[in-house]
Structure 1
Amino acid sequence: MVVGASMAGMLAAAAVKDHVGSVGSVEIVEAHEVPEGPEPRTGVPQAVHIHFLQTGGIEAVEALLPGTGDLLTAAGAHRIPVTTNMVVHSPEGWYRRWRRSTHQLISASRDLMDSVVRKQVFADPRVGLRTHTKVVGLLGDRRAVTGVRLRAADGTETDLRADLVVDASGRATRLPRWLEGLGITGLTQDEVDSGLVYASRVYRAPVPARDWPFVGVQADPRLPGPAKSGGILPIEGGRWHVSLMGAPGGRPTRAPDAFVPFARTLRHPVLADLLTHAEPLTDVAVTHSTANRRHHYERLRAWPEGLVALGDSVAAFNPVYGQGMSVAVQGALALRDVWADGPAPGLARRAQRAVARSVDAAWALSTGQDIHFSTTNGRRPGVADRLLHRYVSRLSRTATGSFHAATALTDVLALQAPPTSLVGPRMLLTALAGPLRPPLDEPCFTEAERRLLDKLAGPEPVER
């Protein structure tokens, strides 16, 4: 059984459904209602902010649920070639839009992504759903989990026996407390919190959204003042999904009239310039819970058979890096691959360690960046961290004018290569050589995109 009908919960069901046998089943237990179509789901506050699948996440979801990418695009999602269709202002300058695309993103509203994945998962008759039901504890002991204790909406409690329990209940997971109830203690947790606040809004795109680039302005931790960043992501229905982020001392608010002015305070006003011509379709939604938080279940000396944690229950990330869904998919794929070996002592521990390995790269990326902001709590950079940050910054500057450096960085950011791949001999020489082309001094829109933007701006005023 799976705790939570989250994206991670759906993917967990997809990962284990082929191993339940001819008379077995997968039961997903969810505390809230689950919509049938692409509608908001209670308990997912992060759904109001921009979401996309990295290349590594796309590959993993195709392995678990073949055809998902095509189903998403047929429903209106966008495939964005990287960096061909990206206008991004990094701390080191504007990235080039290389004609040769090496990676891709799939962008859509979170509601659409959840809906497409749910439909595929529930198409299998072995997967069932129990809504308005809370999991209030684990059955079993420190050696083996044998099921869960359920509480229905009317308060009645029952036991549900299971050979495997997967906790996919997200940031609000109660698994640490449940483990203590089984006598398993010593769990360690890491938290790195930059204090970032997210404010998001959906707009009607003033230009054709199909093939429109992702536009982003990143924060620079070297600059004085609070970090600020933002992005415009094309989504289904001819819309733009816009998220703005700010650290303490410079946080966005829910005030509709303050949204575009805040965008104008970023390191470059390109987002505000674009939004001036767009029609807002929603109110401004704000989220404060953006800390990186990780439970190190894989380090526990005792781990019961029949239990695995997945997704945000294991590690939740600062959403500014767009890694959460992709890491959850890769974790589910790791679970599937371990479970394919069949029942054996220590199977759950091996699966939990495999899930942890799927988290490592994204955790290093997000926390390795966040620790350099002055507002961050939980960990401060040491000498080695500063040296590494200087090197990655130089490599990022090189990537503004080097296709090889840009591809290597994207391999890591897309969760297809570990961060250690950036410190090999060839990459060291690439960083030492620096960019091969001069820096860009303005957003890199194509001629066709500029013509569309010029039409929005209207004719030049007549001089009198």
Structure 2
Amino acid sequence: MTRALVLGGGLSGVLAAVALSRHVDEVTVIEGDRLPDGPRPRRGLPQGQQAHMLMAGGAQALDQLLPGTTARLYAAGAHRLTMAGHILTLSGEGWFERFDHDAYLISCSRHLIDHVVRQLAFRDDSITVIESTKVIALTGDAKRVTGARVEHQGGEERTISADFVVDATGSRSRAPQWLADLGLPQVREEFLDAGLAYAGRWYEAPAEAADGLPAVLIQPEPRSGRPGYGAGLLPQEDGKWIVPLIGTRGGQPPTDGDGFLEFARGVRHPLVADLIATARPIGEIRASRGLANRRRLYDRLPVPEGFLAIGDSATVLSPNYATGMSLAALGALSLRTRLKNHGLTPGLSRQVQSDIAKLATGPWRTAIGNDRWFPGVKTNMKLGGGGFQRWFASRWMKTAAVDPKLLAATYEVATLRASQSSMMSLPMLTTVLRGPRRGPLTAAEALARFPEFDELLAAVAESAAAERVTG
């Protein structure tokens, strides 16, 4: 009888369990928390109540692993937002045009996604979950991992043997030390930290917007020499909005009500502040800090047989890029594909670890290439001058902002439906080098392309006028 052991019962771990379930007799998931029995937050999930986006590439991987997942999400109120048609975006290089293109993301709460995935995954009787249990070590040696040592809530310790062990314990994983304890070299870790911080609040949407409203993304400006400031508004299930405020080192958003609204009004356009003036806040403002980009280069280790690091255990990017859930799904899909083709054969660990590293390479380069320009960045990497890269990235986005073909290619990569190399065709490079053929959109022109906001903004204007009269 073959057994797989998955360390961590979050999204990465559950999807890894699904990938393994048809290729081993038993899959045991070890989870430190108690898993909710409904779409509710999980205590140990970092940023669990902040904004989350599932990119198209990740959504497609989810449906391959668990058919019907996205249909269930939509039935529960999740929103399918096309990047070009349903999101009003102000990038660091200007407002984006609105046009028809099908690159999309799914917007809903993280706890809804986790709940739907658990519902579908745990129908498989071969998957067992052991909750309230902490992993304290791996067992085996430098050539093969053979299981894990765990501690139950009451303090009892035991060893669980397995033919394959997946570390899905996330960004705070202790697997580098566990492997070192088995005699492996210390895994190299790279990081770049722009001091990004989030403050997020939920709102009940006004009645006229309860059926959904386009999302708003006002992105931090990376090349201004000042801290980056941003804001967003994303429709959620049950007629709610999630509003994240974003700031880099020296400009982190506050968590008090007055400061939250003042920050929202002080970013490069006050649209988000105007919209939430029409909505009712729900609950407290929640902050998230320590959101650096980090990757552990397991693929450069002599990876032991029977071990794999997946999801945030391998690479965690600033949530500003919204790729974490999607990379977890794509990594699990790679594991399933390798198992389907070759089974639990020697070399599986190295092959899948290499796949996971390659999947994260493009998003990693995007994050590092953008975040490195914020002031006060901390990193352990040699970044170089980057003068041409800085110019090219700025030129690309200025041109894409008013060129639908170039922007469509950018969206394909951002939603993980295409690789970065797909943008390097001769026609696209020629378009970038030629530069934008017309001036950037003004704020008024960008807003005019989204008349869905008109009714709410008119109400805000009327309220402000009334206050001036009574004042």
TM-score, with length taken from structure 1: 0.95
Query: Unpaired runs of 5+ in structure 1?
Result: none
Q: Does structure 2 retain, via aligned residues, the 8 Å contact 1:199–1:252? A: yes
Q: Secondary structure at the match of 1:45?
A: coil
CA gap of 1:192–1:124, structure 2 versus 1, over 3 A, is same
Structure 2 distance, partners of 1:313, 1:257, is 37
Q: Does 1:453 align with 2:457?
A: yes
Structure 2 distance, partners of 1:361, 1:118, is 29
Q: Does structure 2 retain, via aligned residues, the 8 Å contact 1:85–1:211? A: no
1:76 positional shift? 0.9
Cross-structure match for 1:18: 22
Cross-structure match for 1:223: 224
The one-letter code of the counterpart of 2:54 is: L
CA gap of 1:415–1:177, structure 2 versus 1, over 3 A, is same
Q: Does 1:133 align with 2:120?
A: no
Deviations 1:287-307 (A, max 9, x none): 11200111000001x221111
Structure 2 distance, partners of 1:63, 1:86, is 26
The one-letter code of the counterpart of 1:374 is: P
Q: Does structure 2 retain, via aligned residues, the 8 Å contact 1:230–1:263? A: yes
CA gap of 1:263–1:146, structure 2 versus 1, over 3 A, is same
Cross-structure match for 1:399: 400
The one-letter code of the counterpart of 1:47 is: G
1:130 positional shift? 0.5
Structure 2 distance, partners of 1:291, 1:420, is 25
CA gap of 1:230–1:452, structure 2 versus 1, over 3 A, is closer
Equivalent in 1, 8, 19 of residue 4 of structure 1: 8
Cross-structure match for 2:85: 84
Cross-structure match for 1:366: 367
Cross-structure match for 1:408: 409
CA gap of 1:448–1:193, structure 2 versus 1, over 3 A, is closer
Structure 2 distance, partners of 1:427, 1:389, is 18
CA gap of 1:332–1:386, structure 2 versus 1, over 3 A, is farther
Q: Does structure 1 retain, via aligned residues, the 8 Å contact 2:191–2:294? A: yes
Q: Secondary structure at the match of 1:49?
A: coil
Cross-structure match for 1:382: 384
Q: Does structure 2 retain, via aligned residues, the 8 Å contact 1:80–1:211? A: no
Superposed, which structure 2 residues align to 1:23-422 within 5 Å?
24-98=25-99, 100-206=100-206, 207-300=208-301, 302-340=302-340, 341-378=342-379, 379=381, 381-383=383-385, 385-422=386-423
1:381 positional shift? 4.1
CA gap of 1:410–1:448, structure 2 versus 1, over 3 A, is closer
1:436 positional shift? 4.3
Structure 2 distance, partners of 1:247, 1:438, is 29
The one-letter code of the counterpart of 1:132 is: S
1:422 positional shift? 2.5
The one-letter code of the counterpart of 2:372 is: I
Stretch moving more, 317-326 or 436-445: 436-445
The one-letter code of the counterpart of 1:270 is: L
Q: Secondary structure at the match of 2:440?
A: coil
Stretch moving more, 215-224 or 415-424: 415-424
1:266 positional shift? 1.0
Structure 2 distance, partners of 1:343, 1:180, is 24
The one-letter code of the counterpart of 2:91 is: S
Q: Does structure 2 retain, via aligned residues, the 8 Å contact 1:200–1:242? A: yes
The one-letter code of the counterpart of 1:454 is: A
Structure 2 distance, partners of 1:351, 1:2, is 15
Count of residues in correspondence between the two structures:
458
Q: Does structure 1 retain, via aligned residues, the 8 Å contact 2:15–2:65? A: yes
CA gap of 1:136–1:252, structure 2 versus 1, over 3 A, is same
Deviations 1:35-57 (A, max 9, x none): 01101111113112100111111
CA gap of 1:72–1:96, structure 2 versus 1, over 3 A, is same
1:437 positional shift? 4.8
Q: Secondary structure at the match of 2:70?
A: helix
1:150 positional shift? 1.2
Stretch moving more, 175-184 or 346-355: 346-355
Q: Does structure 2 retain, via aligned residues, the 8 Å contact 1:28–1:127? A: yes
Structure 2 distance, partners of 1:211, 1:281, is 17
Structure 2 distance, partners of 1:170, 1:215, is 29
CA gap of 1:74–1:344, structure 2 versus 1, over 3 A, is same
The one-letter code of the counterpart of 1:117 is: V
Structure 2 distance, partners of 1:138, 1:113, is 30
RMSD: 1.7
Q: Does structure 2 retain, via aligned residues, the 8 Å contact 1:252–1:259? A: yes
Query: Unpaired runs of 5+ in structure 2?
Result: none
The one-letter code of the counterpart of 1:31 is: G
The one-letter code of the counterpart of 1:424 is: S
Deviations 1:132-168 (A, max 9, x none): 1111111111111111111111111111111111000
Q: Does structure 2 retain, via aligned residues, the 8 Å contact 1:8–1:310? A: yes
The one-letter code of the counterpart of 1:447 is: P
Q: Secondary structure at the match of 1:284?
A: strand
Stretch moving more, 281-290 or 444-453: 444-453
Structure 1 distance, partners of 2:451, 2:322, is 29
Structure 1 distance, partners of 2:387, 2:266, is 27
Q: Does structure 2 retain, via aligned residues, the 8 Å contact 1:197–1:252? A: yes
Q: Does structure 2 retain, via aligned residues, the 8 Å contact 1:334–1:358? A: no
Q: Secondary structure at the match of 1:190?
A: strand
The one-letter code of the counterpart of 1:130 is: I
- Percent identity of paired positions between Structure 1 and Structure 2: 39
Structure 2 distance, partners of 1:381, 1:230, is 28
Q: Does 1:432 align with 2:433?
A: yes
1:393 positional shift? 1.6
Structure 1 distance, partners of 2:280, 2:376, is 33
